[in-house]
Amino acid sequence: MSRKLPHAMENVCLTCKDDCSLYAIGSKSHTTLLDPRTLHHVRKVNARITGCGIRSVSFHGEILTIGTGVGAIMFFDMRAGKYMESTMNSGRAVVLKSTKGWVSADDQYHDVFHNVEYTPAIYTHCYDWSGMRLFTAGGPLPASLKGNYAALWC
């Protein structure tokens, strides 16, 4: 069985809920949720950051965690149907932002990031068994660059 996805640009990551009731597919600016039995589109989750590129997705219970190409990690509450918000700053989304990690500052780096701040893409992430810690890893978005990034969020 196959279906054409509603968002055709940069479909680069996929995850399935633990109970196999939902697929999430990350693309250039959306996460598409699909019913695994029919592959019909259930919902579209827009990225909160324009043009960020979704690079990793995972479910932890009813929370969809989204890693981006600009070093941001976002959390979408499936029950509430919206991004998680801070209780201290009402209305502000909960977003974790990566540090720079390591990148080789060679000529290609300077060509790509001339007058632009570098942030690594979050290519993978996972929770520990308790769900209280989140591991994230990645590196430069352009394939021509060398570098890496890893963090453990507690």
- What pLDDT was estimated at residue 132? 95
Question: Do residues 50 and 69 lie in contact, with contact meaning Cβ atoms separated by under 8 Å?
Answer: no
Which positions of the chain have pLDDT values less than 50? none
Distance CA 42, CA 22 (A): 9
- What pLDDT was estimated at residue 111? 82
- What pLDDT was estimated at residue 68? 97
- What pLDDT was estimated at residue 113? 80
Could you please state the CATH topology (level 3) that the domain comprising 13-153 is classified under. Methylamine Dehydrogenase; Chain H (2.130.10)
List the chain domain ranges: 13-153
- What pLDDT was estimated at residue 99? 94
Question: Do residues 2 and 39 lie in contact, with contact meaning Cβ atoms separated by under 8 Å?
Answer: yes
* The model's pTM: 0.92
Helix, strand, or coil here: 109?
helix
- What pLDDT was estimated at residue 57? 98
